[in-house]
Amino acid sequence: MPLTIMTWNAQHFDEQNATLSEAYREKLAFLVYYLKQRSPDIFALFETGKSGAANTQLIRDLSAEYSPISVLQPESAKTKVTTLGSIVFVKNAIAREFTDISAHVPLDDKEQRGVLLIRHRTTDLCYGFYHANASKRALGNIINAIAYIQGLKVKLVFFGGDLNVPTDGNPDLIMKMHKLTPAYPGYTHVNILSDDVSSSRRELRDMQELGHFLEHTPKEYFEEEYKWNHAIDGTPRHPTTRLSLLDYAYVHELEKWSAVCEGSANSVTSGESVRHRTTVIQKICLGMPIRSDHFPVLFTYGVVPPSPSTSSGSPPVTATIATGASVSTSLGSTPIDDSSMS
């Protein structure tokens, strides 16, 4: 049976200072729908809430089908008051087969978040999940993390998540692990930009003299002038997208893995005249709107028959994986033991 792993940066998947906020409810509805459709055996969520304070509401809402195996702890995050927490969930049916060994991977002095590392008790195979720094240090941190884990003499077969480096900027091979990227649609992250804003900002850089006369900085002047002029002349907005492939993995036995991202960014234009026409970028995954700049990525092991001439090492565990489970569309919860998250 195949083993399926999903990773998703949900972007601030907490209650945002409000009980069951609109953002939380929309993200949860999408996640439950995705889990019902694809039923991954393991999945990792990034930006789930404050590091070291597990998002207990989210854990309750998923507890009918999934159990939290690893939660980003304070010692694995230098910035404590943040929404950049991470959680790895495993299907209840196989949750006892895995254990959290993240404590064995210390935080690098140039990292903001540590690796979540889980181990299969029977085979000793390990799976690492990572939300890299959004900086030029990301690549170095990824390489160091993989090298350190392999130095522990464990069988690391998967290391993935929001790696925050465009895939063409990362090497194809790190410490004998191969880069695995989703073939479609060619991106996992959508950044929505406005041509009007960017072009006007460039033009107004040349108006510093007037800005000084008005005792405004160029930025302040731009924001005030653009706000009023845009409202008065009714110039149509034309948002554009910047697409990046930031969510992928490094795996052992590349030929036995596949990856897919089922999201898309669609441009929708409305309005009867050019003057009043507006364009909106819709982010869709599996036919449902998604409230995040990142799309989930689903990794599957075992979709390609083993080839004795190309395979090597021990394959990831598949024999005991249960498939077909799904999250109930009714978001009912079952009690959890909060002490287990300490």
The pLDDT score that the predictor gives to residue 188 is 95
Nearest to 244 by CA among 293, 296, 300: 293
Backbone angles phi, psi at 177, to 5 degrees: -105, 135
- Domain positions in the chain are 3-188+245-261+296-341, 189-244+263-285
Using the CB atoms, write b or e for 6-23: b if 16+ within 10 Å. bbbbbbbbbbeeeeeeeb
Q: Between 97 and 278, whose confidence is greater?
A: 97
The pLDDT score that the predictor gives to residue 87 is 95
CB-CB contact of 91 with 65 (8 Å): yes
- Both tokens of 196, joined, read 């009007």
Q: What is the mean pLDDT of residues 34-46?
A: 98
Give the count of alpha carbons within 13 A of 8, CB side only.
30
236 by Cβ neighbours in 10 Å (0-12 / 13-18 / 19+) ranks as: middle
Q: Looking at the predicted structure, is the pLDDT value of residue 84 above 60?
A: yes
How far apart are alpha carbons 45 and 138 in whole angstroms?
Answer: 18
Using the CB atoms, write b or e for 86-109: b if 16+ within 10 Å. bbbbbbbbbeebbebbbeebebbe
CB atoms within 10 A of CB 338: 11
The pLDDT score that the predictor gives to residue 229 is 54
Q: Looking at the predicted structure, is the pLDDT value of residue 27 above 70?
A: yes
CB-CB contact of 30 with 286 (8 Å): no
Q: Between 296 and 136, whose confidence is greater?
A: 296
What is each CA distance from 249 to 166, 233, 245, 324, in whole angstroms? 12, 48, 11, 24
The pLDDT score that the predictor gives to residue 60 is 93
Residue 94: pLDDT band (50, 70, 90) is very high
CB-CB contact of 170 with 179 (8 Å): yes
Class of domain 3-188+245-261+296-341: alpha beta
Whole-number percent of the chain with pLDDT over 70: 66
The pLDDT score that the predictor gives to residue 333 is 36
The pLDDT score that the predictor gives to residue 301 is 96
Whole-number percent of the chain with pLDDT over 90: 46
Q: Among 173-182, 226-235, 262-271, which range has the highest average pLDDT?
A: 173-182
How far apart are alpha carbons 127 and 159 in whole angstroms?
Answer: 6
Using the CB atoms, write b or e for 177-200: b if 16+ within 10 Å. bbbbbbeeeebbbbeeeeeeeeeb
The pLDDT score that the predictor gives to residue 17 is 55
